[in-house]
Amino acid sequence: MPASVSPPLDTTLLIVSPENIAFEFRLAGPAPRLIAFAIDVFVISAVGVALFIPFAVAGIVGAAFLGFFLVALFFLWWGYGAALETFNNGQTLGKLALGLRTVSQTGLSINVAQAILRNLIRAADIAPPFFPGLVAMAFTRRLQRLGDLAAGTVVVYDRRWRPPPPPRRWRNMPPDGRCSRRPAAMSWPPSPRPDCARPGRSRRRPIPMRSSPPSTSAP
């Protein structure tokens, strides 16, 4: 008997709304998500260093300050992702740089509870040495880590709407409306302009010939 072949991994998520409208999302894999997470860690570290340096220069680093600093780092680490994903359309600074966005499994924007839950479980996702988050992404069809499975979210590529290209008949027409074979920069939507004539054909219309009036002079 022939050996069974597993189907290829499909990174396209198709969601049909109750109004029977289909939305298509492209799932983000582990590599771009790891790069986005590294950018977020760098941002958090930079903010922590920026908070520590002024007090260190002023010489007021003591036990009370260290306690306050550790509490600030705790809220910064756990609140950074939850706050930005809630108020920035599911995007942290790392996801924004990579063009990623966190959405719910229904295609809607995530709420506060989902953002907090998926960021709290991040500690279990990155726990060494097995890194359960990467293992969960490898065995789930929607590339979800443990936090995504618990919160019902997915990470997709953020596709921005782009205007369609201009019609073909306007692409090689200069702004003054004259026909030219050189490409010209056009704005969209184009303003109404006359069509260019095809090569080898004249744009001038034939002028009808008028017959001369009959002569009224006597013979």
Range of 88's domain?
A: 12-157
Q: Dump pLDDT digits (tens) for 182-208.
A: 444 444 545 554 445 455 555 555 555
- Helices 112-120, 63-87: axis angle to 10 degrees equals 130
Q: How confident is the model at residue 174 (pLDDT cuts 50, 70, 90)?
A: low
Contact 94, 37 (CB under 8 A): yes
- 172 in a domain, yes or no? no
What pTM did the predictor assign? 0.67
- 19 in a domain, yes or no? yes
Supply the pLDDT for residue 65: 74
Number of structural domains (the chain) is 1
- 24 in a domain, yes or no? yes
Q: Dump pLDDT digits (tens) for 28-71.
A: 999 999 999 999 999 999 998 888 887 777 767 777 777 888 88
Q: Dump pLDDT digits (tens) for 100-155.
A: 999 999 888 899 999 999 999 998 999 888 899 999 999 998 999 999 999 999 99
